[in-house]
């Protein structure tokens, strides 16, 4: 896993405080209201971003050292769970590259969101090829 810069970000500070609170209470479920309160105290302006960690390199040290990840459990609740590797997978190296003929479309200039990229992958028949070994 790549090493992060040593200076702790405000987001990391919020996550560390949330984890410390949950560990002290021995209850690893927490609500968005607690996230907002901690963000306000630390001065982190986007509480909705705190629990969104899309890869292991973005985890603060306290979570890595204790082997905890965050999952969303619904209704504004989240949970710290033991086992980062149960939540995140290190992908195997790609064995074979496929030369794909990309067909330009109206969506080309808007390829910025996850849902749009999935739409492009579907429209280009990439998902069909990946899932079924063919594009028809």
How do residues 99-110 score in pLDDT, each as one tens digit? 877 777 776 666
Would the pLDDT of 125 be above 90? no
pLDDT band at 25 (very low <50, low <70, confident <90, very high): very high
* Residue-level pLDDT at 122: 82
Q: Is 33 helix (H, G, I), strand (E, B) or coil?
A: helix
Number of H helices, E strands in the chain: 6, 3
Structure tokens at 55: 């890869």
Q: Which residue has the higher pLDDT, 43 or 121?
A: 43
Side-chain-side CA neighbours of residue 11 (13 Å): 11
Strands 68-74 and 77-82: antiparallel
Query: What are the residues whose beta carbons fall under 8 Å from the beta carbon of 68, sequence distance 6 or more?
Result: 19, 28, 80, 81, 82, 83, 84
Domain edges within the chain: 10-87, 92-136
DSSP string, 1-26: -PPPPSSPPHHHHHHHHHHHHHHHHT
**Claim: this prediction has a pTM higher than 0.75:** no
Q: Which residues pair with 81 in a beta bridge?
A: 69
**8 Å CB contact between 67 and 84:** yes
């Amino acid at each position: 896993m790549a090493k992060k810069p040593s200076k702790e970000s405000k987001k990391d500070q919020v996550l560390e405080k949330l984890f410390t609170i949950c560990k002290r209470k021995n209850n690893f479920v927490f609500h968005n209201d607690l996230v907002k309160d901690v963000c306000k105290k630390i001065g982190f302006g986007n509480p909705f971003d705190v629990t969104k960690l899309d890869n292991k390199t973005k985890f603060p040290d306290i979570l890595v050292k204790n082997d905890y990840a965050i999952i969303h459990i619904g209704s504004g609740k989240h949970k710290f769970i033991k086992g980062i590797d149960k939540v995140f997978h290190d992908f195997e190296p790609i064995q074979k590259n496929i030369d794909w003929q990309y067909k330009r479309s109206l969506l080309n200039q808007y390829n910025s969101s996850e849902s749009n990229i999935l739409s492009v992958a579907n429209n280009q028949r990439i998902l069909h090829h990946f899932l079924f070994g063919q594009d028809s």
